[in-house]
Amino acid sequence: MSVPATGRASAGSGESAWHAAWLPPAAFRELGSRGVLVHGDGPLVDTVLDEVSRACARYGGRLWHGPPWPVDADLVLALREAGPVPNAAAEAARLGATPAVNGTGDGSLGDEGYLLTRASGVTVVLADAPAGLLYGMFHVVRLGAAAFDDDLPARRHRPALDRRMLDHWDNVAVHPVSGQVERGYAGGSVFWRDGAARREPARLRDYGRLLAACGVNAICVNNVNVHDTEALLLTDRLGDVAEIAEVLRPYGIRVHLSVTFAAPVLLGGLPTADPLDERVRAWWAAVTRRVYRRIPDFGGYLVKADSEGRPGPFAYGRDHADGANLLAEALAPHGGVVRWRAFVYDHHQDWRDRSTDRARAAHDHFAPLDGRFADNVILQVKFGPIDFQPREPVSPVLAAMPATRLAVEVQATQEYTGQQRHVCYLAPWWSEVLRFRPRGATGGTIADVAAGPAGTGGGLVAVSNVGDDPFWTGHPLAQANLYAFGRLAWDPQMDPGAILDEWIDLTWLPVSTGDPETVRRTMHAVMDDSWRTYERYTAPLGVGFMVRPGHHYGPDVDGYEYTPWGTYHFADRDGVGVDRTRATGTGFTGQYPPPWSEVYESRERCPDELLLFFHHVPYRHVLHSGRTVIQHIYDTHFAGVEEVAAMRERWRLLAGAIDPAVHDRVAERLDEQFRSAVEWRDQINTYFFRKSGIPDAHGRRIH
């Protein structure tokens, strides 16, 4: 397969073999064809200058950097504190930037915010800090020609969430089970290869560009399951991490590191990792000082402890607050944070014991510890109580710990949503989660929890879907999930459809040879409802899993049903679903505050899409839709396959309109998605027909 040569080998060196994603050179045409003034100095301002300089060189524009004489520019990118701007319109905008703009605050734009306005025929971006200027420049790229319309409204832009982070589950050494990237579906790691650092700064720099352009400002470079080789990144191999930080720093990306709780024993030669042991505290303090000497803007540590076999404080009779606070103490003098994952549960459950419930585990472990974590501890909570399923309720932990900084974790890598072999645009799902109000209509949203009071929250985190594949994410359309994550982390109120428009307009329209409206319309037709299509042909009504154990791709209805992992559906001849009620089940519904504790407790009030998550019901139970549970299963699985077939046909309309390499890759993946959807349909429908003995009301073939 040929690969479009649209990436950058290095600044000024032309084209390369990886896809440019949402930053093809043509996306900079409107900016690069004009006169641009950059006013101010600093490392990230140098990045802005580099971006603008290359765009102007390509498209014939002109660049000035803080000249001492007045400049008649079309675009001004200026730091407000750099003094008078040598452009009359921009200087008037600088002097007039007051709290009246957007009616917000005291006029401050913050470390990452910017003001975008149009004044006297000049487009002006004003920022208080270099990061804001960088984000403002990328906003101009997103707008294209619209950035130079005279009716462009003045608006202040600031991120709703200060922390917008990607977690890479990349291994330095190839792991015998999880490979180079655990749950990676886009090739190898962009950081590591076969036990060593890749040292490909050109591609890594382009990765930083892509992340900054969609709003991501932090990254963790290794797997939360820290194995022996990866543990050395904290000490002997810290130089490798420093090199990555050096490449990403010009795009405002702060590097974090996953560490093992057992590091004092494994790396330091101590007999214990007890968080209350003075020797352990001294070891962490010393090693953290060395980290910051090498990487002054280091973000902090990410820890998975006492979960799925990883070491943690339980071994010493301590709790998670003791463990997290140990690392927080070491990081605090340097301004770092410890991100402590709340993904903690018993993975040795007895499937015969229906009183045990994996969904309860995070709340049971962490809610009693609210208020005990240090200020620089961020508890990182999966958005749902199980494990990144296509449909599950929002985790009750996110409403249960008001005195703790919480981050919301989603999964961009499509472990349970088609593994980047299926089109599954996840922004609508994430948007539902972020807009959910756990205390009812008058309470705050999950986005408010992530933001925290006065911006002190833990932000939004995604498990990365990027690898060394030429298209970054394996499936070219899966790039949209990474882009959408960054945009939703910047503004959780954004409409997923509008985000998709941005991504299409940046990624495909500048390089398309077809009619722009046809390209845009076809992309939307394929992607808009793709998450719900995936949900229709996989596990029904929120019951989850039903996947093949281990690799989690394809259907296996009973694959986990008699295992110790705690992911059950309890289907029998009479019904299906998990009873999590307080009245007769595991009591999980009681972990929610009103009104949801009562809504989920009731079969009659529980939303259809979550019914089997909360209730064990007969197959003839009638849903709000008017269909029985069994008929819903049949209908949705037949419909899902039909929808994938339609997606495949729509995609064929773009042949010749976009790069053949892109079209072929997507067409190949859609063929596999159709094959897999048929497999899901036939296995799920046959399983439940044989369990229930109830035929399809429409007489369709069920094997």
Which residues does the annotation mark as catalytic?
308, 387, 415
Look at strands 15-16 and 7-8 and give their pairing. Answer: antiparallel
Give every CB contact of residue 353 below 8 A, 6+ residues apart in sequence: none
Burial environment of residue 152 by CB neighbours within 10 A (0 to 12, 13 to 18, 19 or more): middle
Q: 459: which strand partners? A: 407
For 57, the enclosing helix (H) or strand (E) is helix 43-59
- Burial status of residue 103 (CB atoms within 10 A of its CB: 0-12, 13-18, 19 or more): exposed
Is the C-alpha dihedral spanning 402, 403, 408, 409 positive or negative? negative
E strand or H helix at 123: strand 122-127
Give the span between the Cα atoms of 603 and 621, in whole angstroms: 10
Report CA-CA distances (Å) from 157 to 135, 294, 605.
Answer: 9, 33, 40
Residues 6+ apart with CB under 8 A from 678: 641
Q: What is the dihedral of CA 589, 591, 597, 600, to 10 degrees?
A: -30
HEC per residue, 246-291: HHHHHHCCEEEEECCCCHHHHCCCCCCCCCCCHHHHHHHHHHHHHH
CB count in 10 Å sphere of residue 593 = 15
Continuous segment of H or E residues that includes residue 432: helix 427-435
Closest to 541 in 3D by CA, of 621, 441, 597 = 621
Among candidate residues 85, 44, 50, the one with its CA nearest the CA of residue 67: 85
245's CB contacts (< 8 A; 6+ apart) are 254, 255, 295, 297, 298
- Spatial neighbors of 574 by CB under 8 A, at least 6 apart, are 618, 619
Question: By the 8 A CB rule, do 378 and 343 touch?
Answer: no
CA 633 to CA 375: how far, in whole Å?
47
> 628-632 long-range contacts, Cβ below 8 Å, gap at least 24?
628/694, 629/540, 629/541, 629/575, 629/576, 630/688, 630/692, 630/694, 631/696, 631/697, 632/540, 632/541, 632/608
Burial class (CB in 10 A: 0-12, 13-18, 19+), 177: exposed
Distance CA 118, CA 75 (A): 9
Nearest residue to 628 via CA among 578, 700, 575, 558: 575
Tokens found for residue 613:
């998550």
Determine how many CB atoms are found less than 10 A away from the CB of residue 652: 11
450: Cα separation from own chain's centroid: 13
Alpha-carbon distance 148 to 577, whole Å?
56
